[in-house]
Structures are given as structure tokens and as C-alpha cells.
Amino acid sequence: MGSNHLPMRGSEVIISPSVICADFCNLLDDIRKLEETGIHSLHVDLIDGHFSPSMPLGLTVIEQLRNKSSLDFDVHIMAEDNEFFIKELTKIGVQSITFHYESAFHVERMLQLIKAAGSKAGIALNPATPLQVMDYVLEHCDYVLLMLISPGYAGHKGEAMVPYALKKITECKKYIESRGLHTRIVVDGRVSMEVIAEVVAAGADCLVAGSTSFFRKGASLQDNFVQMNKEIQLGLEARNHREDGKHEL
């Protein structure tokens, strides 16, 4: 497997449940239930309370969970001091690390630190951050994480996916392809059951699944996982149909 790829697990689109949506009083039990669904990775938000107004999980908790689960850990840093957290996470041993462009003064150095430790490296972009900020570093990224809401506000019930989300995913796919790369696109924030097919059709390769999809109330985790895969297939069919149409022109 070459670089610029998240691990493929039998499907063209990866589902990565967000630990922040689990029951923190029964965190390990919830992770065991997630493992039973057949997922292969967990999305873990590491927030410092400054870059984003929340502090759900600390390094100690992440380290303890890492020692008790065989799942891949995809850690999304939302912090002002990226270098500190990157160095600590590489000691813990996680499979992939994402940091925000908006809080990184030395983007290329952060990518190098992650890759030198043997982890996959990604850059996260807030909704209004233009793709062009990655012009000189995209080739060093295994994936790009597009925030579809403002980071850290997932718990706000009225917070909806930004109206230009699908357009940005589509533009990101074109941006990557225009450089001859295969960098994966991760989408995070209000990826609800109702929009999964649309974001996949637009070009998303990995879905961070939270309270409106994998942890959706009224259904079991397994049932939600099955329904998510059905929506993904619809999205892939739409994407493939669109791409086939381009080739015929």
C-alpha cells in the first residue's frame, strides 16, 4: 500500500465512529460494542479547550484506550500546540494523526514528525479555510479532513452542516486529482444518515460518524452501521455514474 491512502477495509469508503459521541461513563463498554459491529478504526478528538471550546478526552485516557483496543486510532488534534500533542501521540502509538492548518505555524514540520513516527498524516481544514493553503504540502498528506461544521460544536443541536459543504468536497476531489495524487478525503461534522449518500457522491472517502449516524438514537449501533453502508453504496453508485458520464464525453 502506497502513501496517500487510509487503510482500505473491503469497502471504498471507511466509517470511523467518533469516540466523543460515546458514553463517557461506560467508554470501554461502548468501544467493545463498536468493535462488534465490524468497524476497523475509531476517530478520537483531542481538544485543548482553546482552539475549540471543549475538552472531552485527554492523553491519559487515549493511552489507556489504545492499550485495550486493537482498532486503528485516528486522532484529530484541535489544539494550539500541535507539536506537543503530536509528540505525545507518537509515543502512545496511533495509526493516524490529523492537525489543523489554522493552528499550525510549521505545517510541513508537523507532517514530517508524524510520518517519521510511522503514522499516517493529515491536515484538517475549518469550513471557510480555502483548499489552496495546501498547495505546497498536499503531496506530503495521506488525507485531508474537511470540517463540515465549526470544530468543537458537534454537541450544539442547532449546528448544521455548512451550506457549501458538498461544493467544497467536490472541489477538494478535483484539487487532489489535478495534482495527480490519491489523497483521501475525510469529512467530519454533522455527517447524518440523510446526507451520507450526498457526501460520498461528492467525493468523501472516510466518514467520521457521530450522533446523527452511527450513534443515532432509536436504533442499535449494528443497525445504524448497516444503514450507513447502504447509504454509502447509493453514494458510490451516484459517484461512479457521474464519473462514467465524464469519460463518455
Q: How far is CA 208 from CA 55, 60, 81, in A?
A: 18, 22, 23
Q: Report d(CA 3, CA 67) in Å as an integer.
A: 26
- Which residue type, as a one-letter code, is found at position 50? H
Q: Is 142 a catalytic residue?
A: no
Contacts of 76 (CB under 8 A, 6+ apart): 43, 44, 45, 46, 98, 124, 145, 188, 208
Which residue out of 48, 72, 142, 188 is catalytically annotated?
188
Q: Does residue 34 come out as left (phi exceeding 0), alpha (psi in the -120 to 50 range) or beta?
A: alpha
Is residue 223 flagged as an active site residue? no
Catalytic residue among 45, 72, 74, 142: 45
Tell which residue, 133, 194, 131, 185, has the closest CA to residue 160: 194
**For the purposes of burial, counting CB atoms within 10 Å of the CB of 182, is it exposed (0-12), middle (13-18) or buried (19 or more)?**
middle
- Catalytic annotation, residues: 45, 188
